[in-house]
């Protein structure tokens, strides 16, 4: 009896399904990844197109400096908290409740400084607040 030898086939790896799966995973990762680089953003706030300034019957201008100092009218505030600003606002209004508070904040002033003025106006019983802006050029 003579046995014939079978040809041994070499196993081969089919790479096409593997590549398809990798492409799907790559697309999924690209779509689901968020790129957040908040520290590298350079933000330039827009200028406002202002109308002619309105004359309010009674207004108090509160200036906020870039270093966090405040001035109510032309009087500087001692301290940087809410209470000193509220006390000067109460004094400047003389008990008139429909007084408009105009916040004139420096472009580099912190948001917290502006919020402090708004909170002081609330404590002083003043609810009408507006912001001063420069005209865009």
115 is in which domain, residue-wise? 59-131
Q: What pLDDT shows up at residue 39? A: 40
29 in any annotated domain: no
CB burial of 75-110 (b: ≥16 within 10 Å; e: otherwise) equals eebeeeebebbbbbbbebbeeeeebbbbbebeeebe
Q: pLDDT tens digit string along 47-78? A: 556 565 555 578 888 888 888 888 888 888 88
Asked if 121 and 90 count as a contact pair (C-beta separation under 8 A), the reply is no
12 in any annotated domain: no
pTM, whole model, 2 decimals? Answer: 0.58
66 in any annotated domain: yes
Mean pLDDT in residue range 3-22 = 83
Q: Identify the residue with better confidence: 37 or 3.
A: 3
Q: SS3 of 16, please? A: helix
Domains identified in the chain, total number:
1
> pLDDT grade, residue 36 (50/70/90)?
low
Look over the chain and give the mean of its residue pLDDT values, rounded to a whole number.
79
100 in any annotated domain: yes
5 in any annotated domain: no
Rounded Cα distance between 41 and 37, Å, is: 7
């Amino acid at each position: 009896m003579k046995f014939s030898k079978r040809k041994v086939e070499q196993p081969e790896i089919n790479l096409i399904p593997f590549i398809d799966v990798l492409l799907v995973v790559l697309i999924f990762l690209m779509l689901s990844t968020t790129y957040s680089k908040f520290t590298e953003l350079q933000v330039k706030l827009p200028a406002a197109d202002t109308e002619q300034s309105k004359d309010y019957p009674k207004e108090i201008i509160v200036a906020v400096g870039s270093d966090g100092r405040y001035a109510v009218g032309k009087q500087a505030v001692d301290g940087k908290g809410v209470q000193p600003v509220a006390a000067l606002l109460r004094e400047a209004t003389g008990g008139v409740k429909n007084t408009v508070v105009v916040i004139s904040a420096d472009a580099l002033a912190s948001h917290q400084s502006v919020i402090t003025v708004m909170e002081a106006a609330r404590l002083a019983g003043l609810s009408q607040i507006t912001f001063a802006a420069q005209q865009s050029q």
